[in-house]
């Protein structure tokens, strides 16, 4: 799986949009970008994933650059409950025996009132 | 929302004791994963099952750890004998392989294990 680079931490004001960057310059054509988060004392939670088109769901939006070397997770209106470690992971989904998620250090996001 | 359920949530026991952790995957999911999380190593994959068959347990210490799926609704991870270095949070996750694609994994809230 391609390596990802994320800032170690960032702060965000409650009610504002939180933009979380991720670099994955060595991503290959069949690798998807996944985002998970881990709130304190809970298991990792799936947020969103995409291949090359921008994606949106009830939790967040994922913007992938045209060259696919970087992406941004957007939490449109951050709340205190969004304080968590956010992980950006790239992986292939179509190889039946390629199932591992490699969690790096992630970005610790602190939402402040 | 469907959830992965893990029991117990917390376990404190003495070195040498057997520990059994249980996981109920999301109904309909055909893949189950066991992960371990520590401050030093982060999240590590221990074992992987597909359709109840173990496909990868290369992350587990074979001499003391064992993972099984007695049926589609139960996965177990056992440690015997337990050691202080096994202290960690153990997560179970389940997912679905469908039409050749791995769907996103969904995690339980973990078992926090402390071996004294």
Q: Looking at the complex, does the CB of residue A58 fall below 8 Å from at least one CB of chain B? A: no
Res A39 pLDDT > 90:
yes
Which residues in chain A touch residue B56, judged by CB atoms under 8 angstroms apart?
A: 99
pLDDT tens profile A99-112: 778 888 999 999 99
Per-residue pLDDT band for A96 (boundaries 50, 70, 90) equals low
Rounded (10°) CA dihedral B46, B49, B54, B56: -40
What is the pLDDT confidence band of residue A77, given thresholds at 50, 70 and 90? very high
Give the confidence band of A91 by pLDDT, cuts at 50, 70, 90: confident
**Residue A94: what pLDDT?**
66
Q: How far is CA A38 from the centre of its chain?
A: 11
Mean pLDDT of chain A: 92
- Cα separation values, A72 from A76, A88, B25, B38, Å: 12, 9, 31, 27
Q: Mind listing the pLDDT tens digit for each residue in A41-64?
A: 899 999 999 999 899 999 999 999
From B45, B102, B108, residue closest to A93, measured CB to CB: B102
A9/B12 Cα distance (integer angstroms)? 32
Q: Does A108 touch chain B (CB under 8 A)?
A: no
Please list the helix, strand and coil fractions of chain B in percent, rounded to the nearest 5, in that order. 5, 55, 40
Q: Do B93 and A94 touch (CB under 8 A)?
A: no
Q: Does B49 touch chain A (CB under 8 A)?
A: no
Rounded to 5 degrees, φ, ψ at B45 are -80, 130
């Amino acid at each position: 799986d391609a390596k990802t680079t994320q800032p170690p931490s960032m702060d965000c004001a409650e009610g504002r949009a939180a933009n979380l960057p991720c670099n994955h310059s060595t991503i290959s054509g069949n690798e998807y970008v996944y985002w998970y988060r881990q709130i304190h004392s809970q298991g990792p939670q799936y947020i969103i994933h995409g291949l090359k088109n921008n994606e949106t769901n009830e939790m967040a939006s994922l913007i992938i650059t045209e060259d696919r070397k970087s992406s941004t997770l957007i939490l449109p209106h951050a709340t205190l409950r969004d304080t968590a470690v956010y992980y950006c992971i790239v992986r292939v989904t179509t190889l039946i025996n390629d199932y591992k998620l490699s969690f790096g250090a992630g970005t610790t996001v602190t939402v402040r009132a | 929302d469907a959830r992965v359920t893990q029991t117990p949530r917390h376990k404190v026991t003495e070195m040498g004791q057997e520990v059994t952790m249980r996981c109920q995957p999301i109904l309909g999911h055909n893949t189950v994963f066991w992960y371990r999380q520590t401050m030093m190593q982060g999240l590590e994959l221990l074992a992987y099952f597909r359709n109840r068959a173990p496909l990868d347990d290369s992350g587990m210490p074979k001499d003391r750890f064992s993972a099984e799926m007695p049926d589609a609704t139960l996965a177990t991870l056992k440690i015997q004998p337990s050691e202080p270095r096994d202290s960690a949070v153990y997560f179970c996750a389940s997912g679905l392989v469908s039409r050749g694609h791995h769907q996103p994994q969904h995690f339980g809230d973990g078992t926090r294990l402390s071996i004294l």
